[in-house]
Amino acid sequence: MKIGILALQGDFAEHISMLKQIGVDTVEVRLPKHLDGLDGLIMPGGESTTIGKLAVAYDLMEPLKQFGKSHAVWGTCAGAIFLSKDASSDQPLLGLMNIKVQRNAFGRQVESFETDLEIDELMKATGTEHPYHAVFIRAPIIESVSGNVKVLAALDDGRIVAAQEGRWLATSFHPELTSDARFHEFFISLVS
């Protein structure tokens, strides 16, 4: 199995080291040809407007959309925004996943926070029982979902922060910035 990591901007290196840790081969994706032969794709956190602009500049928009239609794709934070159908802002989006996101929903950088989440699907898939410690950095929320989207996690006030639609995954937070590999394992289970 080979997983691509969109490596245009953001914290792609952290995803790569997490996947290495669980024994999965990775490829850095910067050009359309890098998608050849991949089994899935992770799009990292960073700045979604920059990721979008670079994806346009490197002619990646259409190849990423086509790849996503037949493969597992996971977006974390900015990556989740880029994967969404609607971000209420004028920026390039892949428009694959039936989620509407609100960018910077918690305010500025100083309002970044960490919290424990009970994520049944994740605990079931990994045979574990402890909550997932999630890191939010200028994070979006998933304002609404449609189609076949399943909500995986929400904050105590009900705001959605993780969702799944078939083999697509969106998380507002950054599993690549923790030492807990369960979300990466969960994604790999969707790929295979």
Question: Which residues belong to the active site?
Answer: 77, 174, 176
Site for ligand GLN in 64-83 (CB under 6 A): 77-78, 81
- Residue 176's contacts (CB-CB under 8 Å, 6 or more residues apart) are 11, 14, 15, 18, 44, 45, 76, 184
x-or-dash string of contact with ligand GLN, 5-44, rule CB under 6 A: ----------------------------------------
- The verdict on 170 binding ligand GLN (CB under 6 A) reads no
The one segment of 46-54, 127-135, 160-168, 181-189 that binds ligand GLN by CB under 6 A: 46-54
- Residue 70's contacts (CB-CB under 8 Å, 6 or more residues apart) are none
Residue 181 buriedness (CB in 10 A; 0-12 / 13-18 / 19+):
middle
How many C-beta neighbours within 10 Å does residue 192 have? 8
- The verdict on 182 binding ligand GLN (CB under 6 A) reads no
> In the set 39, 47, 121, 143, which binds ligand GLN (CB under 6 A)?
47
Q: Which amino acid is at 60?
A: L
- The verdict on 137 binding ligand GLN (CB under 6 A) reads yes
